[in-house]
Amino acid sequence: MKTERIIIKGVVQGVGFRPFLYRLAKKLGLSGIIKNTQSGVEIIASGDEDCLNQFRKAILEEKPPNAFIREIAVEEISHEVWQKNYGDVLKEIKIVKEDDASEVELDLLPDLAICPDCLLEFYDPKNRRFKHPFIACTNCGPRYGMLIRLPYERENTTMGYFPLCPDCQKEYTDPMNRRFHAEAIACPNCGPRLILYQTKVDEPIAWDREALNLARRFIIEGKILAVKGLNGFHLICRADKPEIVKELRRRKRRPSKPFAVMFPSLELLKKYCLVDEEDIGLMQSPQSPIILVPGKELLPKEVAEGINLVGAMLPYTPIHLLLLEGLSFPVIATSGNFSDEPLIFEEERARKALAEVADYFLVHDRKILRGSDDSVIKKIGTVYIMIRRGRGYAPYPQMLPFSTPMHILALGAEEKNTFTLGLKNRLIVSPHVGDLGNPETFDYFVKLIEEYLNLYQVKSLDFIVCDLHPGYQSTRLAKSLAKERGIPLLQVQHHQSHLLSVLAEEGIVPEEELLGFAWDGTGFGLDRSVWGGETLLLQGLEFKRIRSFRPFRLVGGETAIKDIRKIALSFLFEVYGEEALELSHPLIRSFSEKELLMIYRAWESMDKGAYSFPLCSSCGRLFDAISALAGVCFKNTYEGEAPMKLESLYNPQVKGAFPYSLKENFYFDWEPMVREVVEGSYTKEEIATFFINALADFLWQTVLELSQSKVILSGGVMVNGPLLKRIMESLEPMGIRVLRNKKFPPLDGGISLGQAYYGMLSFIFSKTS
């Protein structure tokens, strides 16, 4: 007879871990106790040595599907002492409740889509939860958004407001039931209710089933609905009627950014999109993300104008399944907010803020405490790239390949921002928050940081990490937080952070030199100019900049990023000087003569130092320029519009690449390429294809020249499908390992992860140096 204390850390609460342990212990004839603690689950088990060995093995091998074991520690304790103190519990295995004041080391579980077991019950007319909008179990339902405090127990969630009915209570307390301690359970006799409101009217129109049926009818009739789901509000309306989609665009003040589409059934999904089994599997997984997949051009162009991808998803909650039941058309399901503002998840706010957008509100009385946007994944060839990491994925931790004693906070960049908590041996990245330039988003960002520090009970921070850009809101916040708390501030170069985010994911410590390409829109350079086409050699906490794009003077500064004709003009002035004014190119003719001359004078005086405009070496801006010169896009009405439209024109059947040259063995010189686009006669498709191929070739040549066996890719440009595909297809057959972001975005949403990794690496490298 032996007694062991087993301590398990990770995502082990709210996933059915204790009932799993209970059943396992019972099967093996073990006795003892099982309890949730602040840091995970603790078991004290007595039994034969053989059984204990089997027990530990099975914990790792058979754990519940959503559990994530980060650490398992075992120590033998004196059987005699244990028996003396707990003689009565020793006869069997028991689940006990115990408070624990030690430091929180628990990982939070994201909100999860309905699971296969619940789906079966949901469609079984004999089941007491037949078509119940709040069906959930230990494997599915709300988690992250309803947690008030840890540990994860019903009274610590917003489901605590709903007393369990006797039937639910029975399931909840029976360790052999699959709903044992499923904190989110409910049934038609207890738990939340659905309510339907007309906009600006306080009295509800209908409740429960009737509310659903009416809401569905309103969708069919062409109304716009605000629907409260698992993790926030969606705006839902028909996607098959151009005039309805247009009306939603007008009301939401979102002129052209593509909308996500939810398909009521697999049949409809396959009718409208090119999807394979893997895509469908991912769309039906507990994470159920939006996946950008090729469309079949059956949707009205208003859904995603000029883009050949559809942001497709399947209903992932019982509410969505019921609402879309039997519909013969797909619906728009877009975040309930105005462009650039944070996702709305509180009912009161939604009914006020969205009063002019939605005709009806379908809500429920379960409170959501923090929202998370739907995650967005892009499919490129056979690989998936995280574009926006939110519901289903955040805040699962990224484990470090080493351990530190440190607690740090990294604040990321500016747009599509996230923050990261670094706690000892894990990095916890927040869900997508958004653009900090928007005051409401910034306020939410600050509030969410506070909440995370409380939830994870971080009492003190060792330091704060941020970007070098002095104009970022995150940098300002970092400076004031560091001052307030009297702790050091680390500033990390933007492109170094991008590349480090990949190393964090891969668990690689950059002890030897590593080659990386960080191509994106904008990042503050060490020389205070705008970088964005960087080839770096990373080592330790340092990096060497070994290649970049030929810099140009960006006329119009930040305003040019929207009116990208000005970016194209900047390139033309660099190549042709004043003669550009005489070109008969359509882009030149899109300006009046007066306008043109004015812009030219401004550009010219930059040369003479009259304005202190920074030089710009960004690959993203080159995409904008080529897109405008090709006549594909003149205006970025949303971030990435021009590059996305250019990408949509790429044709792998068209062979060839534009010329470029290497200047001073350092700069990728785009001049030969710009001349071709202006002076040659190419179709739009050829321009898009030859341009993207040239970039891939440049990268490939650089790798060959430096004879590297590993290459890191990151930055916003790396979400370009054809570019990434061509790079991988040229490098991988040569045995070169391509390291890239997988679980986190290569966009600025991944910057805080890279910064936090830098922070944790500083512990290692300061120790060794």
Binding site for Zn ion (CB under 5 A): 115, 118, 137, 139-140, 165, 168, 187, 189-190
CB of 338 to Zn ion, least distance (A): 34
CB of 626 to Zn ion, least distance (A): 49
CB of 121 to Zn ion, least distance (A): 8
How many C-beta neighbours within 10 Å does residue 691 have?
Answer: 28
- Name the residue nearer to Zn ion (CB basis): 115 or 236: 115
CB of 263 to Zn ion, least distance (A): 21
Distance in angstroms (rounded) separating the CA atoms of residues 111 and 107: 13
Distance in angstroms (rounded) separating the CA atoms of residues 551 and 257: 29
- Name the residue nearer to Zn ion (CB basis): 188 or 306: 188
Contact present, 585 and 592 (Cβ < 8 Å): no
Bridge partners of 227, per DSSP, are 234, 362
- Name the residue nearer to Zn ion (CB basis): 85 or 189: 189
CA-closest candidate to residue 336, choices 231, 205, 201: 231
What's 396's DSSP letter? P
CA-closest candidate to residue 231, choices 145, 312, 344: 145
CB of 14 to Zn ion, least distance (A): 12
Residue type, 670: W
Pairing outcome for strands 407-410 and 463-467 = parallel
CB of 41 to Zn ion, least distance (A): 20
How many C-beta neighbours within 10 Å does residue 611 have?
Answer: 14
CA-closest candidate to residue 687, choices 580, 576, 603, 586: 586
CB of 19 to Zn ion, least distance (A): 13
Contact present, 662 and 681 (Cβ < 8 Å): no
- Name the residue nearer to Zn ion (CB basis): 118 or 500: 118
- Name the residue nearer to Zn ion (CB basis): 115 or 500: 115
Q: Based on the residue annotation, tell me whether 85 is a catalytic residue of this protein.
A: no
Indicate which residue of 5, 23, 36, 209 is catalytic.
Answer: 36
Alpha helices in 528-607 (DSSP H): 565-576, 586-589, 593-607
CB of 136 to Zn ion, least distance (A): 6
Distance in angstroms (rounded) separating the CA atoms of residues 33 and 666: 65
Bridge partners of 155, per DSSP, are none
DSSP assignment string, 8-32: EEEE-SSSSHHHHHHHHHHHTT-EE
DSSP assignment string, 242-274: HHHHHHHHHHHT-SSSPPEEE-SSHHHHHHHB-
501 sits in which H/E element = helix 494-506
**All residues at 6 or more sequence positions from 214 whose CB lies less than 8 Å from its CB, including other chains:** 196, 205, 206
114 sits in which H/E element = none
The long-range contacts involving 116-121, CB below 8 angstroms and separated by at least 24 positions, are 117/178, 118/318
- Name the residue nearer to Zn ion (CB basis): 65 or 294: 65
Q: Is 179 exposed, middle or buried (0-12, 13-18, 19+ CB in 10 A)?
A: buried
- Name the residue nearer to Zn ion (CB basis): 164 or 606: 164
CB of 115 to Zn ion, least distance (A): 3
Indicate which residue of 18, 238, 254, 726 is catalytic.
Answer: 18
- Name the residue nearer to Zn ion (CB basis): 185 or 215: 185
CB of 123 to Zn ion, least distance (A): 13
How many C-beta neighbours within 10 Å does residue 424 have?
Answer: 14
Q: Based on the residue annotation, tell me whether 127 is a catalytic residue of this protein.
A: no
- Name the residue nearer to Zn ion (CB basis): 187 or 293: 187
In degrees to the nearest 10, what's the CA dihedral of 215, 342, 743, 516? 150
Residue with tokens 């995370």: 452
- Name the residue nearer to Zn ion (CB basis): 138 or 702: 138
Q: Is 238 exposed, middle or buried (0-12, 13-18, 19+ CB in 10 A)?
A: buried
Contact present, 375 and 389 (Cβ < 8 Å): yes
Active site residues: 18, 36
